[in-house]
Each structure stands twice: as structure tokens, then as C-alpha cells.
């Protein structure tokens, strides 16, 4: 049995997209993005009180990088992982985990623009600094994609899923259009049916109510 605990427009979307790409049977338990994630029942699944948590045959796995590695090893047939000994194993691991670098900056920007309700708590300096850090990450991805269709020479993998989902979130605060190679890649991977299946359904309560959040000037 596979069950994913998920909130729309959060890092758990990364695991949801991967599960759809793997083509395996799974269940989704949706949670609101609120203090209910701190309930004793949920903390028994993920002691950090965050999503995702993945129930896999009686074991609970959390942290998206760990979930990605476990699922790709458990279900190797689609070729989304790069196993130990593969020539691209190190590059695969780098980009799978680089997604968290992007997500860290995205989380800081989400806090500044959305989670802080009192304007006195917001910082225009932090907003601009974190957006610039996201753009530096975009430049790294853009450079990696030069001459490549995907992050790895051997083709689409869970590395594209991990980084692509992080960019799905950070593009609310830093535009991808100036990075032409990245933007073209992002268009390709988000056209995939598995990505489309991982998007919030119509009428769902969304974390991001705007497509883009301009820097706040106070």
C-alpha cells in the first residue's frame, strides 16, 4: 500500500508528480496547509509537522529527497532514477537535492509575501535578496541545460521532477522568462501528463492566490 500525505502547492507535489510518472497505484490523503499538521496523529507520521509523508508498506518516509530515492529504487522500470554504479548517479543526486536549495529560497519568499499577515513584519530587503538568490539558482539550471533536453544526458529523470517542481513554486516570485533554455525545458516537463495530474484541482484551496508576487516596497 502506498499513501501520500499531501497539501496543494507544497513540496509534497514533488512526490505526487513522481508517483504519477511511476505509474503505480497509490492513495492520496489531502491536508489543509494549517496547524492540523501539528496534530499528534500527523506528527506520528512526520515529526516535523510538514508534508509530505509517504506510507509505503507499513513504513513511513518523509523528506522529498529521501522519498524520491526510495521510490526510484523500489520502482526502477520507468528509469527515473540512476542506480548505484551508473555513470550519472552523482549528477542525478546533485540535481535531486538541488531542488531543496531552490525550495529554501521559495519558502522564505512564501513566508514574506503570504504567511506574514502584518505588513510591519515583512522585509523588502529580504524579499529582493531571496528573489536574487532564486535567479542565481535559475542561472545554474539554465547553464546545466545548455545543449541538453533534460538535466541528465541520458534523458528525463526524477531530477527534472524535483527541480521542476521547485521552480513551479519559485516562479511565483522570480520570473523564468529571462532564462530561455530553462523556460523551454520547464515548458516541456510541465506539459507531461503526470505533472498536469499533480496540479491542484479546480476549486481547491490554493497557497498562491496570484500567479506572480511583485516585490513589496513597504
Residues 6 or more apart whose CB falls under 8 angstroms from that of 178 comprise: none
Pairing of strands 27-30, 53-56: unpaired
Instruction: List, in sequence order, every beta strand (DSSP E) within 46-127.
Output: 53-56, 59-62
C-alpha cell at 2: 502506498
| Rounded-to-integer distance, Cα 137 and Cα 188, Å | 19
Q: Do domains 2-74 and 89-192 have the same CATH topology?
A: no
Which 3 state secondary structure label does DSSP give 116? coil
Q: Give every CB contact of residue 26 below 8 A, 6+ residues apart in sequence.
A: 2, 3, 4, 19
What are the residue ranges spanned by the domains of the chain? 2-74, 89-192
CA distance 185 to 117: 35
Q: Where are the beta strands (DSSP E) in 79-190?
A: none
Residue (of 106, 85, 102) closest to 159 by Cα position? 102
pLDDT for the residue numbered 117 = 85
In angstroms, the CA 166 to CA 26 distance is: 22
Centroid of chain to Cα 169: 7
What is the pLDDT, as a whole number, of residue 216?
A: 82
Q: Shortest CA distance to 1 belongs to which of 53, 57, 54, 52?
A: 57
Per-residue pLDDT of the chain (218 residues; tens, 9 = 90+): 999 999 999 999 999 999 999 999 999 999 998 999 999 999 999 999 999 999 999 999 999 999 999 999 999 999 999 999 999 999 999 999 999 999 999 999 999 999 998 888 999 999 999 999 999 999 999 999 999 999 999 999 999 999 999 999 999 999 999 999 999 999 999 999 999 999 999 999 999 999 999 988 86
For residue 212 the three cell numbers come to 506572480
pLDDT, residue 85, reads: 97
pTM reported for the whole predicted model: 0.96
In whole angstroms, give the CA distance from residue 141 to residue 181. Answer: 9
Fold held by 89-192: Glutathione S-transferase Yfyf (Class Pi); Chain A, domain 2 (1.20.1050)
Q: Which residues contact 68 (CB under 8 A, 6 or more apart)?
A: 14, 15, 18, 81, 96, 158, 161, 162
* CATH class held by domain 2-74: alpha beta
What nine digits make up the cell of 49?
Answer: 509537522
User: What per-residue confidence (pLDDT) applies to 186?
Assistant: 98
Amino acid at each position: 500500500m502506498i499513501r501520500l500525505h499531501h497539501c496543494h502547492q507544497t513540496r509534497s507535489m514533488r512526490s505526487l508528480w513522481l508517483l504519477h510518472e511511476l505509474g503505480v497505484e497509490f492513495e492520496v490523503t489531502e491536508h489543509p496547509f494549517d496547524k492540523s499538521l501539528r496534530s499528534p496523529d500527523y506528527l506520528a507520521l512526520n515529526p516535523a509537522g510538514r508534508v509530505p509523508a509517504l506510507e509505503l508498506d507499513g513504513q513511513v518516509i518523509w523528506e522529498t529527497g529521501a522519498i524520491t530515492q526510495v521510490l526510484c529504487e523500489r520502482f526502477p522500470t520507468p528509469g527515473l532514477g540512476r542506480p548505484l554504479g551508473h555513470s550519472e548517479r552523482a549528477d542525478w543526486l546533485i540535481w535531486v537535492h538541488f531542488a531543496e536549495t531552490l525550495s529554501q529560497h521559495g519558502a522564505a519568499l512564501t513566508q514574506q509575501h503570504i504567511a506574514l499577515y502584518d505588513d510591519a513584519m515583512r522585509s523588502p530587503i529580504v524579499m529582493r535578496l531571496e528573489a536574487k538568490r532564486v535567479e542565481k539558482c535559475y542561472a545554474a539550471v539554465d547553464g546545466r541545460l545548455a545543449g541538453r533536453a533534460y538535466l541528465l544526458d541520458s534523458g528525463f529523470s526524477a531530477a527534472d521532477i524535483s527541480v521542476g517542481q521547485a521552480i513551479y513554486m519559485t516562479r511565483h516570485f522570480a520570473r523564468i522568462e529571462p532564462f530561455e533554455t530553462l523556460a523551454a525545458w520547464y515548458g516541456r516537463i510541465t506539459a507531461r501528463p503526470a505533472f498536469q495530474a499533480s496540479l491542484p484541482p479546480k476549486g481547491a484551496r490554493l497557497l498562491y492566490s496570484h500567479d506572480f508576487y511583485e516585490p513589496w516596497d513597504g
